[in-house]
Structure formats: C-alpha cells, structure tokens
Structure 1
Amino acid sequence: MSELPNALSVREADRPVEPLFLQRWSPRAMSGEALAEEELMRLFEAARWAPSTYNEQEWRFLYARRQTPHWDAFFGLLAEPNQAWCGKAAVLGVVLSKKTFTRNGKPNPVHTFDSGLAYQNLSLQGAAMGLVVHGMAGFDFDKARRELNVPEDFAVEAMFAVGRHGDPADLPEELREREEPSGRKPVGEIVCEGPFAF
C-alpha cells in the first residue's frame, strides 16, 4: 500500500490552532472495510452537538452501508466521477435540513448554515478517529429527494462518504495526483473588518 499523506507534514497554520483542523481533509482512497455500528454512531453523536438557531437542530442524516439493501439507491445518486471512488466507502450519507422552524412554521433563513455546522462536527470527529469523511455536491439532488422520500419541507444539502483509509494507488489515475491535503487562502483574503472590501 502507498504511504498515506500526513496532513500535518504538508499543512502549516499561520497562527496556533488545534491540530485537528489541519488533520481534517477529504481523501478519496478507502479500503472497503466496514465500520462498526459504534464508530458510525460516534460520528452522528458529534453532529448532534452542533449549535443551531433556537436549538432547532434542523439537520437530518440518511445513510446506507455498503453491501446492504439501501446501498444501491444511495450509490445510484452519485455522479459518475464520484462513483469511480465511492465504491469502497463503508457508508454513504445524505445531509438534509428542515427549511422551516418547528416552533412556528416560519421559514428558517439559516437551515443550510446550521446543517453545515452539524456536518462539520461529523467530519472533525471522523478525522479524530482516523477515518475518511468526504463531502460531495456531485450527485442528483432531485433524484435523492424522490428515491429517499424526502419531504418538501426539507432541503437536500449534500452527500458524504465515510470509510477507512485505503491505498491511493487503487484510485483512477486522474484522482491519484489529487490525493493530498490542500492548502488554504491566507486569513487576509477571507476576513475584512467593516464593510465588504475584498
């Protein structure tokens, strides 16, 4: 097996942050090995503790394990380029968000934001556990709504794959060279005190 990239050896923060933020990245190479139920539920437990507006907790997660009856439906939602590497994932998931407040039925303008926070918790927990967690927009959103019976009051936000690290050499050739932690823009390019001035 090829050596896995060590994110801490190629990423350096400009200011001190927790190493977990640098360790988290989105590999594609997975081993095909299953996850234990307790491991998977630890990821969802972390997601559960995300902050949300009025404590709405408007995120929902649908998932399928590989080699189970639901797998084909989830795998069939993926765009072809993502199917090329997701076949060895242990789990495929879909992130949803409730578009209205449960407390009064009014539109919730930050449902997407809050559900993204829950997914971030899940992905950081995965990094802490040494797992691959890779989010994706490359799938059929409308088909996901239809085939997974998602009510209209929920937005289909994203998909993700979870698994154990695999050998990057097993990836399609065009993906192998991308199988490394990426850098980030400097803080000065993403932060501005006062009005927009980028």
Structure 2
Amino acid sequence: MTGPDKTADSSVPLHPLLAERWSPRALDPAATIGDAQFTALFEAARWAPSWGNTQPARFIAARRGEPAFDRIHGTLSRGNKGWAGDAAALAIGVAQSVNEEGEPMPYGEYGLGLAAQNLVLQAVAEGFHAHQMAGFDRAAARVEFAIPDDFEPLVAIAIGDLGNLDDMPERLVEKELRPRSRKPLSDLVFTESWGAPRF
C-alpha cells in the first residue's frame, strides 16, 4: 500500500534506501514477511561492523502468528501496543554489556545500533518499513525471554508494510502525515573549532 511521500528533503541526493527510510505506525495487518526476507533482516544485522569484531548485538524476533510475537508485543508500551500488533514481525535488540572475561563490553550499545540500522535498511531493500521503539518494558523483556544479566535489551523494532490511516487515532495520523525534518548540517558538522560549520 502506498502512503504519504516521506522522501528525505536532503541538501544533496541520498541513496534511495536512506532517502526513503522512515518509521510508519500505520502498518498493514494482512502483510506477511517470507522466510528468506525475514532471515535477510538478521543476516544484514550480523554483518554490521563492531568494535574488534566483538559482535555484541543479539535479537529476539518473531513473525505475526508465532507465539513469541505476542510475547514481544506484550512488553511494548501502551502507545506502541496500539499499532505495533499490525506489524509483520517484531524484534527486540539486545546489546552485550559484559564480555566473556567479565569486563565491560566496549561499544556494545554502538554495535547494536549499527546492527539495528543494517536491519532497518535491509527491510527497506525488501520493500518493508521498520519502526524502532524505545517504548517497551526492558525489565519485562528480560524476564519474559530470560535475557542474561550481561546483556541489555535496548530497542524494540516493528517491521511491516504500509497500512491504512483510516482506523488510526487522529494524533497518530498527524504524525504519519507530518513531513520528515532534521537539523541543518550547519548545526551538526563543524570544522576548525566547535560550532564553526563545515557545510
């Protein structure tokens, strides 16, 4: 299903995977994700760079109709539960926080972030969308899936196809239709000294 045009309004052209990536909440409850497509999401995540190839990212994942899908859905915040049940798949991203020697894992959260972004971009390449969420109960996820103490659940991800806005609450429809925006490069990239814009 086609939705609003959310292509990034960038200062120079971006690759379509980046320009067309956005985080919808209106998902198609009839959409499914095939075996190969589902595997590809996590294969993409597996090949993300990580500090010293430590590969700190782990995922708990399920497709709609599988028991673990409902268990992941049960950990979501009330606001996210209302729409994320229509996703074709749900996942929880988990970062290793302590290494095998019992020492803090350097850049574990950064590694999970890179893996999650690979997953999201692979979803776009497969014709889907992914919405990353901080709104879930990390403690509940830890208990529900017996996540060890040396791993931290950090993000929930809904993957699916665009759905219909008609049945969504007005406040969510407004968010879906709102143009995407970012701070200008002049606020983000500096040269010579802090605050001196490079672009």
Cα shift at 1:66: 1.7
Which residue does the alignment assign to 1:175? 172
Q: Deviations over 1:137-176 (max 9, x none)?
A: 1111111111110000001111010111111223222101
| Equivalent position of 1:6 in the other structure | 5
Match of 2:65 in 1: 67
Counterpart pick for 2:47 among 29, 46, 49: 49
Q: Give the counterpart of 2:13 among 16, 20, 23.
A: 16
Q: Which residue, out of 74, 77, 101, partners 1:76?
A: 74
Counterpart CA distance in 2 for 1:47 and 1:64 is 15
Quick check: 1:85–1:172 contact (8 Å CA) kept in 2? no
Letter in structure 2 aligned against 1:113: Y
> Aligned runs of 1:89-104 on 2, under 5 Å?
89-102=87-100, 104=101
Distance in 2 (CA, whole Å) between partners of 1:91 and 1:19 is 23
> 2:114 — aligned with what?
117
1:120-153 CA deviation, whole Å, 9 max, x = no partner? 0110111122212000011111111111100000
Measure, in 2, the Cα distance between the counterparts of 1:66 and 1:187: 39
Matches within 5 A, 1:130-169: 130-169=127-166
Contact persistence 2:187–2:195 (CA under 8 A): no
Distance 1:194 1:16 in 2: 26
Counterpart residue type for residue 94 of structure 1: I
Offset from partner CA, 1:24-64 (integer Å, 9 cap, x none): 00011111222111111111111111100110111001012
Change (3 A) 1:195 1:153: farther
| Structure 1: gaps spanning 5 or more residues | none
Give TM-score scaled by structure 2 length.
0.90
Per-residue Cα deviation, 1:58-110 (whole angstroms, up to 9, x for no partner):
100101222222222111101111111112111111000111234x4421231
Structure 2 runs not aligned, ≥5 long: none
Alignment length, in residue pairs? Answer: 194
SS of residue matched to 2:75:
coil
Shift of 1:194: 5.5
Higher mean alpha-carbon deviation, 145-154 vs 171-180, is at 171-180
Tell me which residue corresponds to 1:28: 25
CA RMSD of aligned residues (A): 1.8
> What TM-score, normalized to structure 1?
0.90
Flag the structure with more relative contact order, 1 or 2, with Cα contacts below 8 A and sequence separation at least 6.
1
In structure 2, relative to structure 1, the CA distance for the partners of 1:109 and 1:79 (3 Å cut) is same
Residue 17 (structure 1) shift? 2.6
SS at match of 2:139: helix
